Amino acid sequence: MDTVHSLSDQSVAVNVLRLDKIHSVVSGNKWFKLQKYLKNALESGQKGILTFGGPYSNHIIATAFAASAAGLQSIGIIRGEEARQISGTLKDARSFGMNLVFVSREKYKDPVMHAEITAEYGHEWTIVPEGGQGAQGILGASEILSLVPGADSYSHICCAAGTGTTLAGLASVAMPSQHLVGISSLKGDDTLTGDISAWLGNLNRRFTIFFDYHFGGYAKYSSDLIHFMNGFYADNKIPTDFVYTAKLMYGVQQLLKTGYFQPGSKVLVIHSGGLQGNRSLKAGDLIFSNE
Ligand SMILES: *Cc1c(COP(=O)(O)O)cnc(C)c1O
């Protein structure tokens, strides 16, 4: 698979692992995070996967597709009341056979609803937390590096960080000498670093999360970010999504500019997919298409 793309300049070699190329709709890292959950549902003879997400969720569409491809059913508990015009993401999820259940924003975050769902469905369905996070998600994400020839030769591995599940998975199989770099797509207080340390336990892995490149917070963007995405595409022919991978590429570029990576470093950047999320942008904002 032609998935490793070189961005190298001067003294630092930069390669991009194009998980966006795995499938036009299914987001790369979500596909990996789901594999162990799918296996569990199949091996225990369950009906399928039940999971949670918003109307543009990469995880929802990946689950709908992956479950269907595995011969399993899927249920998506969707945040917010059903709109008259549902999003393209949800339409596609439905076309892959997902049964969509809309719940109000209040109910969606209510632990009582989650307990009720577990009690009602937990026996016949594998319940996957939002975004495919959790121990099974980490295990699934740990397989991403098996796609990279000579993965051990990189000094740094960079990825976007939402829940940090992907970063934890990558870190769990990285060499002790390798440095993981996460670019947070969320504004904010740094609970991620603690979460990831806890997941990694006594596996000593070097990782650093940067919180400076979120452009206002989760799924927030500015005209500067859109401008960056178009410029990055013009220069490298790599499309990015505004929620995760554009912020990742922007962050990595800033780190390159400011000399964060020592000369001689070899940097692997994981493009985690998610392009379908650009459907929530205004038509014409981007010079590349999502499909
Ligand atoms: C969900 C997602 C992420 C964040 O992954 P985590 O494992 O939650 O940190 C990154 N990139 C894309 C494209 C995603 O869809």
Percent helix, percent strand, percent coil in the chain, to nearest 5: 40, 20, 40
CA 187/CA 185 separation, integer angstroms: 7
Per-residue confidence (pLDDT) for residue 2, from 0 to 100: 46
What's the whole-number mean pLDDT along residues 49-74?
Answer: 96
Report the mean per-residue pLDDT for the chain.
93
Q: What is the per-residue pLDDT across 119-148, written as a single tens digit (0 to 9) for each?
A: 999 999 999 999 999 999 999 999 999 999
Domain boundary among 135, 162, 195: 135
Q: Is 106 within a domain?
A: yes
pLDDT classification of 55: cutoffs 50, 70, 90: very high
Per-residue confidence (pLDDT) for residue 8, from 0 to 100: 61
Per-residue confidence (pLDDT) for residue 209, from 0 to 100: 96
Per-residue confidence (pLDDT) for residue 6, from 0 to 100: 62
51 and 144 share one domain = no
**Which domain, by its residues, includes 268?**
2-23+138-280
12 and 33 share one domain = no
Q: At what angle do helices 28-43 and 58-69 cross, to 10 degrees?
A: 40
Residues tagged active-site: 57
Q: What is the per-residue pLDDT across 145-187, written as a single tens digit (0 to 9) for each?
A: 999 999 999 999 999 999 999 999 999 999 999 999 999 999 9
More confident residue, 285 or 5: 285
Is there an atom of ligand 1 within 6 Å of 251 CB? no
Is there an atom of ligand 1 within 6 Å of 140 CB? no
pLDDT classification of 26: cutoffs 50, 70, 90: confident
- Give the tokens for residue 184: 């947070």
175 and 264 share one domain = yes
Nearest CA to ligand 1 atom 13: 274
90 and 216 share one domain = no
Is there an atom of ligand 1 within 6 Å of 240 CB? no
More confident residue, 7 or 19: 19
Count up the domains in the chain and report the number: 2
Q: Is 290 within a domain?
A: no
Check if the beta carbon of residue 126 is closer than 8 Å to that of residue 117. Answer: no
Q: Is 270 within a domain?
A: yes
Counting ligand 1 atoms within 8 A of each CB, the residue from 21, 61, 166 with the most, and so the one to mutate, is 166
Q: Is 228 within a domain?
A: yes
pLDDT classification of 290: cutoffs 50, 70, 90: low
Q: What is the per-residue pLDDT across 187-211, written as a single tens digit (0 to 9) for each?
A: 976 789 999 999 998 888 999 999 9
Q: Is 109 within a domain?
A: yes
Nearest CA to ligand 1 atom 14: 274
Per-residue confidence (pLDDT) for residue 9, from 0 to 100: 62
128 and 264 share one domain = no
55 and 197 share one domain = no
130 and 49 share one domain = yes
- Give the tokens for residue 256: 């390159």
Beta bridge partner(s), residue 208: 181
Q: What CATH number is given to the structural domain containing 214?
A: 3.40.50.1100
User: Which ligand 1 atom is at minimum distance from the Cα of 163?
Assistant: 8
Is there an atom of ligand 1 within 6 Å of 272 CB? yes
19 and 160 share one domain = yes
155 and 124 share one domain = no
18 and 39 share one domain = no
Is there an atom of ligand 1 within 6 Å of 166 CB? yes
